[in-house]
Amino acid sequence: MTDDRIVTLSRKTNETDIEITLNIDGNGRSNIDTGLKFFDHMLTSFSKHGFFDLDVKVIGDIEVDDHHTIEDTGLLLGECFKEALGNKVGINRMGYSIVPMDESLATVAVDISGRNYTVFKADFEYQYIGDVNSQNIKHFFESFANTSLMNINIKCEGENDHHICEAIFKSLARALNSATKITHDQLLSTKGKL
């Protein structure tokens, strides 16, 4: 179901059952329940700083671990962005943001190019940030890029794992807010297709 740049999609596997509603032209309102408190915090921050309205409901096999929940949420959220952007006529296409959070500094650039690629340069000191395995943070962004067909370049320096992760989510949100804005009536591609 798509209305303007609002979309509701679901994904059900043997490991997860997910429904996401995304309004790209929202005001940062969110209702997030993934079963993982730290992940909820990151997605809430993403929604707020990107001005995206975002409802996420996940039932995942977190009794196994957090991998499937984080991966599949990334995949479905990427699909939501791809679907909501439609033919991409008029969007800025590219965006970037630099976000500090205490000692951390995240730089994120995106290109809604129709091609997926992820660069992730950030190091976490500990295996877990709250209830999330830090290995799965990079995997979330890769999964999101794969289905949204975006190029995402992430670099973050810092000392506190929570600050590093939150700065990245906020910076991605702000970069996407800029890239998804409709500011003209052209398709920004010499190929004629994104």
pLDDT for the residue numbered 52: 98
Residue 189 lies in a domain: no
Backbone torsion region of residue 156, taken as left when φ is above 0, otherwise alpha when ψ lies between -120 and 50, otherwise beta? beta
How confident is the model at residue 174, as a pLDDT? 98
Query: What is this structure's pTM?
Result: 0.97
Residues contacting residue 188 through CB under 8 Å, at least 6 positions apart: 91, 92, 93, 94, 194
Indicate the pairing of strand 151-157 with strand 117-121.
parallel
Over residues 100-125, the mean pLDDT reads 98
Q: How many residues does the chain have?
A: 194
* Number of structural domains in the chain: 1
- The residue ranking higher by pLDDT, 4 or 125, is 125
Cβ burial, residue 61 (10 Å; 0-12/13-18/19+) = middle
Task: Round to whole Å and give the CA distance between 162 and 18.
Answer: 25
At 183, is the secondary structure helix, strand, or coil?
coil
Mean pLDDT of the chain: 97
> Does residue 55 belong to any structural domain of this protein?
yes
Residue range 109-136: mean pLDDT, rounded: 98
Q: Is residue 156 part of a domain?
A: yes
Question: What integer is the mean pLDDT of 45-64?
Answer: 98
Tell me the one-letter amino acid at 187: L
- Hey, what are 164's tokens? 């590093």
DSSP state of 91: B
CATH of the domain at 166: 3.30.230.40
Specify whether the CB–CB gap between 33 and 56 falls below 8 A.
yes
Distance between CA atoms of residues 135 and 113, nearest Å: 26
Lowest mean pLDDT among 1-5, 125-129, 142-146, 173-177: 1-5
Let me know if residue 190 belongs to a domain: no
- Integer Cα distance of 150 and 155 in angstroms: 16
Check whether 2 has a pLDDT greater than 60.
no
Q: What integer pLDDT is reported at residue 114 of this predicted model?
A: 96
* Structural domain that includes position 117: 2-180
Question: Does the residue 79 lie in any domain?
Answer: yes
Residue 171 lies in a domain: yes
pLDDT > 50? residue 160 = yes
Q: How many CB atoms lie within 10 A of CB 32?
A: 21
State whether residue 21 is helix, strand or coil. strand
Angstrom distance (rounded) from CA 48 to CA 130: 21
- Segment 107-115 shows an average pLDDT of 97
Mean local confidence (pLDDT), 134-162 = 98
Interval 141-145 mean pLDDT: 98
Is residue 191 in a domain? no
Q: Which pLDDT does position 56 carry in this prediction?
A: 98
Asked if the structure places residue 41 within a domain, the reply is yes
- Asked if 16 and 36 count as a contact pair (C-beta separation under 8 A), the reply is no
